[in-house]
Structure 1
Amino acid sequence: MATASTASDPSWFSPKRLLVIFCVINLINYVDRGAIASNGVNGSQRICETGGTCSSGSGIQGDFNLNNFEDGVISSAFMVGLLLASPIFASLAHRVNPFRLIGVGLTVWTVAVVGCGISFNFWSIAVCRMLVGVGEASFISLAAPFIDDHAPVHQKTAWLGIFYMCIPSGIALGYVYGGLVGTYISWRFAFWGEALLMLPFAILGFVMKPLQMKGFPNGSHSPSEDYKPSSLKDESAITAQLSRFLKDMKVLLADKVYVVNVLGYIAYNFVIGAYSYWGPKAGYNIYNMNNADIVFGGVTIVCGIVGTLAGGFILDLMTATISNAFKLLSVATFFGAIFCFVAFCFKSLYGFLAFFAIGELLVFATQGPVNYVCLHTVKPSVRPLAMAMSTVSIHIFGDVPSSPLVGVVQDYLNDWRKTSLILTSIFFLASAIWFIGIFLHSVDRFNEDSEHSVNGSGASSSIPLLKEDAIETAEPTAELYMHLYISTVCRIKQAKKSMFLAHN
């Protein structure tokens, strides 16, 4: 049998290599989101003149003749799969090795992205986008807990910041990548290129030695279950899984700190999601930027990297606590909202870019702190579910409705400047919600013991300071009972000897 160290820390997987692998996967995920939002891939509507002459349009929107609402639905479709699959993958992590689940998810993602490239109408690409969300769900739910487990103690927020830096960087690269490939080759080739990039990582999830997460067993069944009929085992497993899920959900919903953090994240993501999808198109229409994909991509990648890394490092310098994380979240979002709002008031392109860049720098500083709160306000065994439900919530109430709703508002107002100002004002709501979190009583539960805190060999992951303590942290064994018996006898003899000496 493999030892704990070999099962949980294979020699090839140093913590830094694990971080790099997860960062590249996350980057490719968000390149896909940026590519489908780019003018080169997303394209433009067919325009009909008064005389009846119609242009063919371009990209997905032109080929499938989509209005802005339908175009927004394409953006949000992958969230449906993400929302449905995230809790399932998080729950399965209690029985199946999480690293293998990531491999399954990335395989589904790769196949679905290929399907996007061969889609032939609105519904076919919408279904493929839903499957992209299913594939991403395993990775989103489990990657952050893995990173938090392996990061150095005093650099946890910084490592999370590096990981979440891939969100703006990936979207920005996607704008540029989608703009170039979509314009000069075809929007279909943009999806096929993404699939080729992700394929090696999907394979890696199956061939590499699996890793364990803090607070989770190795997923194997105990020998005592082998004699049960398969139908009883299946029924028992499903019941236990459902019971576990409901119990953990009750814990999450009762935690005010977790709920306030997620509510602020929902309002924040409502704006960010719509920005990432409609940004290039709004810039093209407000400021006549023919190279909007490249301009938005350049600004977002620089500000996203600097802002996200700065947020993580600043919180570490402040001393990473849940209360300090809320302070940083509230202040950064408030001032970021001011700069972004003022940016859309400028008629000059250069004034807009200067203020919008500062605004993005500030709002992206939230990525490390918001996920730090999510991971540290719950005990280890609940972290994947906490990340999954956070992801589900910010999408189902955030960027899933925001892209189609912004499309509806734009169809009604027909003014991208007014639409952008209305959207940006929601940042102030996010700041106000996170401000409330500063005053809530919070407890960091990262090192809290869990009933599932076992290592790869099935033994307790904590080492008792005294041998007697092992009785409380491990299953009783003959050796432990013998040790307790001998220890008790020795103490009785010592007590009798003391009494005899005192009497004499």
Structure 2
Amino acid sequence: MASCRDHDEMTPFLAENVDEEKAIGASPPVDEEDSERRQDEHDLTGNSYIRSVVTVGILFSINLLNYMDRFTVAGVLPDLKSAFNIEDSESGLVQTVFICSYMVLAPVFGYLGDRWNRKYILCAGISLWSIITLCSSFIPNQYFLLFLLMRSLVGVGEASYSTIAPTIIADLFVEDQRSNMLAIFHMAVPAGCGLGYIVGSKVTSAAGGDWHWAFRVTPGFGLLMVLLIVFFMKEPRRGAAERESQENLTSKSWALDMKALLKSASFMLPTFGYTAGKFASGALDLWASTYLKRARIVQYKTEPCQTAICNYDDSVIFGVITVITGILGVAAGVQISRRYKKINPFADPLVCGFGMLGSAPFLFLALVSAKYSLVSSYVFIFIGDTLLSMNAAIVDDILLSVVTPTRRSTAEALQIMVSHLIGDAGSPYVIGVLSDYIRRGNPESTLWMFLSLQYSLMVCTFVAVIGGAFFLLTAIVFEKDRQRKEKVPED
């Protein structure tokens, strides 16, 4: 999805401004024509092409910091567990309370994002998120409940950003350009996750095991992003990049927006598929590093390890894998979908579906093999994560294809709420509870600490299969809903 819209689609628009020489048959060079076409599209948005690209760069950077902050918790989870003296279930709760507030407030910001100036909402939300993250780094080890409260408040700021950023990109670019820019935007997710693991663990180590310093890295950069938004970002007009949508672009009531979204099968089905993916990835992102550390203890408890891998930091290894697989997965998903779409209009949901179905057996093998070989487990994680990441940008592309511009923030918010409510809001906690439950029925040992978490994480592989099935069902209704997205109900 790397080019501007096709020439045939642009012809009616260009015909209005064509000069006499072009009208009698001459055509400009391809590069000049592409440049005019691209500039013409961005004139409609009120942003130049360069400013639009800069805006995507700023949004990418914020998304990177967003996920760095979120997965700093995973990178220092063993340190938090030790410092607060908590069980697996309470460890999972740290991520769950954050996701819950993020989920609950997403519809509020979705409503505001479809009606108010999105630039100001972003500034307020990112400022709040940065300040609260910094404050959470000063909480003493004996105040676990206060730490939970602060992590939940971080979700308030992130809800403002995640519901709005994709809709801004949608209003700056169209078709192939939009898909490419969304892919770039979503590449920040795995990169941020991986950096969260790495920075969290390394900063904690450098601070002599003090986890508080891990949460003091992102706030300063967050406030810098606010300044970049203020001085370099310009609010685009909603739906301006889509000429076919220029008529009657007025916001309806929130009730009508929700009614239309809930009736759209090609919006709800991929939302459920995405939710299944969030359940699996949310649990694995928080627990995988801890699981691999426990696997290492089980492998080498009776016989000293003589290989270099024994000196590796599993948080760093898993972080690097997360960065690479996420970028590969997002890029592969977008490019495969782009090429497949030329012969099959249902390419987007099919690529998402087969990606999730393909990830399940590799995630299962990664869990099973960890007891015997960490190298093979990392290989299976690499393949499984790559396949699981393929839907990241495509899901947004599906949403933008079937939802009219005036309700896209609401759609993003609804998708966030559903995917977190049933997905990663509860999955880290559920896995922790299952792990504690299994361990209580067995002898206290390092082996059963490992096995209890292994059996709990198996749930993720089955959920991935269910998510793949939802995406395949989407392919049945996708094209019909995409063609009628501009029909906004009046009652």
TM-score by length of 2: 0.78
Report how far residue 430 of structure 1 moved. Answer: 0.7
Report how far residue 447 of structure 1 moved. Answer: 7.7
CA distance in 1, matches of 2:47, 2:260: 33
Match of 1:193 in 2: 217
CA distance in 1, matches of 2:42, 2:329: 36
CA distance in 2, matches of 1:12, 1:329: 30
The yes-or-no answer on 1:203 pairing with 2:227 is yes
CA distance in 2, matches of 1:147, 1:310: 20
Report how far residue 257 of structure 1 moved. Answer: 1.2
CA distance in 1, matches of 2:321, 2:82: 27
Instruction: Say which is worse superposed, 395-404 or 309-318, in terms of deviation.
Output: 309-318
Instruction: Say which is worse superposed, 407-416 or 150-159, in terms of deviation.
Output: 150-159
Match of 1:358 in 2: 383
Instruction: Say which is worse superposed, 135-144 or 145-154, in terms of deviation.
Output: 145-154
Structure 1 counterpart SS, 2:258: helix
Q: Which of residues 77, 81, 99 is equivalent to 1:79?
A: 99
AA aligned to 1:352 is: S
Map 1:65-144; keep pairs closer than 5 Å: 65-120=85-140, 121-144=143-166
Match of 2:46 in 1: 9
Report how far residue 421 of structure 1 moved. Answer: 2.1
Report how far residue 305 of structure 1 moved. Answer: 0.8
AA aligned to 1:97 is: N
Match of 1:36 in 2: 73
Match of 1:342 in 2: 365
Deviations 1:184-214 (A, max 9, x none): 2132122111101111112333445641342
Change (3 A) 1:322 1:42: farther
Q: Which of residues 261, 273, 278 is equivalent to 2:282?
A: 273
Match of 1:148 in 2: 170
Report how far residue 114 of structure 1 moved. Answer: 0.9
Report how far residue 42 of structure 1 moved. Answer: 2.1
Report how far residue 111 of structure 1 moved. Answer: 1.0
Report how far residue 150 of structure 1 moved. Answer: 2.0
Match of 1:62 in 2: 82
CA distance in 1, matches of 2:224, 2:485: 34
Change (3 A) 1:170 1:25: same
Q: Which has the larger radius of gyration?
A: 1
Change (3 A) 1:6 1:431: closer
Instruction: Say which is worse superposed, 132-141 or 63-72, in terms of deviation.
Output: 63-72
Deviations 1:271-328 (A, max 9, x none): 0001111111011112346611011011111111111111112112222787211110
Deviations 1:249-284 (A, max 9, x none): 111111111111111111111000011111110111
Whether the 8 Å CA contact 1:378–1:445 is kept in 2: the answer is: no
Change (3 A) 1:103 1:450: farther
AA aligned to 1:82 is: Y
The yes-or-no answer on 1:368 pairing with 2:393 is yes
Map 1:453-472; keep pairs closer than 5 Å: none
Report how far residue 427 of structure 1 moved. Answer: 0.7
Question: Matched residues, percent identical?
Answer: 25
Report how far residue 408 of structure 1 moved. Answer: 0.6
Change (3 A) 1:450 1:251: closer
Match of 1:306 in 2: 328
Report how far residue 351 of structure 1 moved. Answer: 1.4
Give the gaps of 5 or more residues in structure 1. Answer: 44-58, 217-239, 452-504
CA distance in 1, matches of 2:429, 2:356: 24
Change (3 A) 1:211 1:423: same
CA distance in 2, matches of 1:330, 1:422: 18
Whether the 8 Å CA contact 1:378–1:446 is kept in 2: the answer is: no
Q: Which of residues 398, 405, 409 is equivalent to 1:384?
A: 409
CA distance in 2, matches of 1:17, 1:212: 13
Whether the 8 Å CA contact 1:336–1:360 is kept in 2: the answer is: yes
Structure 2 counterpart SS, 1:165: helix
TM-score by length of 1: 0.76
CA distance in 2, matches of 1:443, 1:282: 42
Q: Which of residues 327, 350, 371 is equivalent to 1:327?
A: 350
Match of 2:236 in 1: 212
Whether the 8 Å CA contact 1:114–1:191 is kept in 2: the answer is: yes
CA distance in 1, matches of 2:212, 2:137: 4
Change (3 A) 1:150 1:95: closer
Report how far residue 6 of structure 1 moved. Answer: 8.4
The yes-or-no answer on 1:252 pairing with 2:261 is yes
Change (3 A) 1:179 1:445: farther
Structure 1 counterpart SS, 2:368: coil
Q: Which of residues 382, 388, 402 is equivalent to 2:427?
A: 402
Match of 1:22 in 2: 59
Aligned residues: 408
Whether the 8 Å CA contact 1:380–1:445 is kept in 2: the answer is: no
Match of 1:262 in 2: 271
CA distance in 2, matches of 1:149, 1:8: 7
Instruction: Say which is worse superposed, 306-315 or 400-409, in terms of deviation.
Output: 306-315
CA distance in 1, matches of 2:284, 2:345: 28
AA aligned to 2:270 is: N
CA distance in 1, matches of 2:340, 2:171: 21
AA aligned to 1:439 is: I
CA RMSD of aligned residues (A): 2.5
Deviations 1:191-250 (A, max 9, x none): 11110111111233344564134249xxxxxxxxxxxxxxxxxxxxxxx99x82222111
Report how far residue 9 of structure 1 moved. Answer: 3.1
Report how far residue 359 of structure 1 moved. Answer: 1.1
Instruction: Say which is worse superposed, 170-179 or 348-357, in terms of deviation.
Output: 348-357
CA distance in 2, matches of 1:429, 1:248: 28
- Structure 1: which 4+ aligned runs deviate by more than 4 Å? 4-8, 10-13
Structure 1 counterpart SS, 2:476: coil
Whether the 8 Å CA contact 2:66–2:192 is kept in 1: the answer is: yes
CA distance in 2, matches of 1:417, 1:75: 19
AA aligned to 1:330 is: G
Match of 2:486 in 1: 448
Whether the 8 Å CA contact 1:381–1:450 is kept in 2: the answer is: no
Deviations 1:84-132 (A, max 9, x none): 2211112112442111111111011111111211123122111211221
AA aligned to 1:211 is: E
CA distance in 1, matches of 2:484, 2:96: 33
CA distance in 2, matches of 1:135, 1:199: 12
CA distance in 2, matches of 1:419, 1:113: 30
Whether the 8 Å CA contact 1:104–1:205 is kept in 2: the answer is: no
Report how far residue 417 of structure 1 moved. Answer: 2.3
Change (3 A) 1:110 1:437: same
Report how far residue 12 of structure 1 moved. Answer: 9.1
Structure 2 counterpart SS, 1:175: helix
CA distance in 1, matches of 2:233, 2:388: 38
Deviations 1:131-175 (A, max 9, x none): 211101111011111112223532322321221121111111110
